[in-house]
Amino acid sequence: MNDRSSLSTPGGRRWGLTVGPVQYLWPRERLLAFYAELADSPADCIVLGEVVCARRRQMRLEDWLALGRELAQAGKQVVQATQTLVETEADLRQIERLGAETGHWVEAGDASALALLQGRVPLVLGPHINIYNHRALQEHADLGVVRWVPPVELSLEALACIQPPEHPVTGWAQQPIETEVWAFGRLPLSFSARCFTARQHGVPKDQCGFPCGDDPDGRLVRSGEGEDFLVLNGTQTQSAGVHCLLPHGTALAATGARRLRLSPQARGFGQVLTDFEAVFNQGAAAAPRMAAWADLGVPQPLVSGYAFGQAGMVSHVSLPSEMPA
């Protein structure tokens, strides 16, 4: 399955590259520097907002909206994301304000956002909205949906059946709903009202002191056998392996999708973004580019099992040193 990407698209259409929301607690200065670099990057779409924990307030809604305006002026499509775990009335009011003030598309993190925003703004169905069949996507289409990010555990074969390119579900303005595939980053597996990072530090969730800020790529958890297993990121649990579909362009193209989501990691992400552009839009080979990632600090291992209907930690990624002579 480690296919060399030959990625000519119908009509010469480019692959769209979306940078997903930062899932970790990074200091405000680091966030602003990160997005300043993205303004000159190959990404054509950037998703903004705090999606993991409402108590992380380095950036207020006004800050996200102002940042969105700056990135839009730089030529980027901007999507404002809502939280994945909505717990309070204040969280709901924040979603209401997004519907009234953003001026951009909004990515719904959970069903409450769908109820509050339907018909008011173009909606993106985030990866935590449970769309697992064609009928479910059809039922959401009338809410004003323009794009969907399939749940990360869906195989490429399955998502091609849910949104087949020959008979696509249409949404906002009767246009086909665009499919955006999670192509890079640690997989967001679950959310909890409990904060596991606070619990590990022995502090209450509501007065935690933000220990998750000490782990810019989350905190690694190993199994009893000493193998990397999961990553704790506050209320979110992620995979330890980094899901990576860089070598699987042909399989991705067969689904009809033409947009990829890259989820930020703390180190080496700029090079990752450059490499996805080179492979998917310029015809470069994937393996030599991935070989340099470990030295840049990109978390390892690289995995891709879910994309092919297997356990998520299974890898179909072979680096040059691992390939048979």
Q: Mean of the pLDDT values across residues 155-170?
A: 94
Longest CA pairwise span in the chain (Å) = 60
User: Which residues line the annotated binding site?
Assistant: 53, 195, 208, 212
In what helix (H) or strand (E) does residue 211 lie, and over which residues does it extend?
Answer: none
**Rg, Å, the chain Cα set:** 19
Q: Mean of the pLDDT values across residues 40-68?
A: 94
Q: What is the pLDDT of residues 125-157, one digit of tens each?
A: 999 999 999 999 999 998 999 999 999 999 999
Of residues 289 and 172, more confidence is placed in 289
Considering the four listed CATH numbers 3.40.50.300, 2.20.25.90, 3.20.20.70, 1.10.1040.10, the one that applies to the domain covering 16-186+243-285 is 3.20.20.70
Distance, CA of 8 to chain centre: 24
Q: Mean of the pLDDT values across residues 162-175?
A: 91
What percent of the chain stands above pLDDT 70?
A: 94
Return the bridge partners of 184, or none. 244, 262
User: Which residues line the annotated binding site for [4Fe-4S] cluster?
Assistant: 53, 195, 208, 212
Q: What is the pLDDT of residues 58-107, one digit of tens each?
A: 899 999 999 999 999 999 999 999 999 898 999 999 999 988 888 889 99
Reply yes or no on whether the pLDDT at 5 is more than 50: no
